[in-house]
Amino acid sequence: MTDVAPFQGTIFGDEHSELAREFFRAARRVGSTLTGELLSTDTTWEIPIDGSAPDWLQRMLTDINRVARLGPNWDSYGALPLSWEAAVNGVELLDAVSFRGPAPLVSPTPDGGLSLEWKAQGLGVEVEVSATGDVVVLVDEGGHMLEWTTSVGWDDRFAGALKQISEAFAA
């Protein structure tokens, strides 16, 4: 990748330009200064960030960019590439609950969605953001499973589970 100038509000891309702008806005709200440009081809996109973003956000966006480079049929069973809606909503969801780390394990889902996972000391939190932006949260507290659907916005149970994860990682 070549050096890029600081992001000034112009997104270089295709029909997903408005979603790319939303992605930049979401990442900025969680404390990052983004630089670069949206790099796009027919099936891939990438959002470079600079070193001032929180560590968890830098790692999450790096992983989202990795997942975004997977083309159609990445699993050889007809999987769809990552959708912009899933990427944007994944960042927005963490922003909405004032998340401050640690970075989730980011992986694609076959329907073009995004999976975010945290595991620490008997606690697991998994979030699946569908290609259309629907959100399912699964929390495993020592074998006691809770599952619910939510949306991008404040969710007390989700915020509480992420707070527990953050505390477990800090311990």
112 occurs within a structural domain: yes
Rounded to whole angstroms, the Cα distance separating 120 from 55 reads 18
Residues spanned by the domain of 141: 17-170
**Sign of the torsion angle spanned by Cα atoms 38, 40, 43, 46:** negative
126 occurs within a structural domain: yes
44 occurs within a structural domain: yes
4 occurs within a structural domain: no
- pLDDT at residue 106 in the model: 95
The token pair that represents 54 in the structure block: 């929180």
pTM metric for this prediction: 0.73
Q: Residue 162's closest CA among 120, 107, 130?
A: 120
| Residue, of 2 and 119, whose pLDDT is higher | 119
- pLDDT at residue 101 in the model: 81
11 occurs within a structural domain: no
In 4-99 the beta strands, taken as DSSP E runs, fall at: 39-40, 45-46
Rounded to whole angstroms, the Cα distance separating 39 from 47 reads 7
- pLDDT at residue 30 in the model: 53
Burial (CB < 10 A; 0-12, 13-18, 19+), residue 9, is exposed
5 occurs within a structural domain: no
pLDDT in tens, 2-16: 332 222 222 333 344
10 occurs within a structural domain: no
- pLDDT at residue 36 in the model: 41
Q: Looking at the 3D structure of the chain, how many domains does it have?
A: 1
Rounded to whole angstroms, the Cα distance separating 102 from 91 reads 13
pLDDT in tens, 56-115: 877 887 788 788 878 889 899 999 988 888 888 888 888 788 888 888 999 999 999 999
Q: CB under 8 Å to 67, separation ≥6 — which residues?
A: 82, 106, 107, 108, 114
pLDDT in tens, 19-59: 555 666 666 555 544 444 444 444 344 555 555 667 787 78
48 occurs within a structural domain: yes
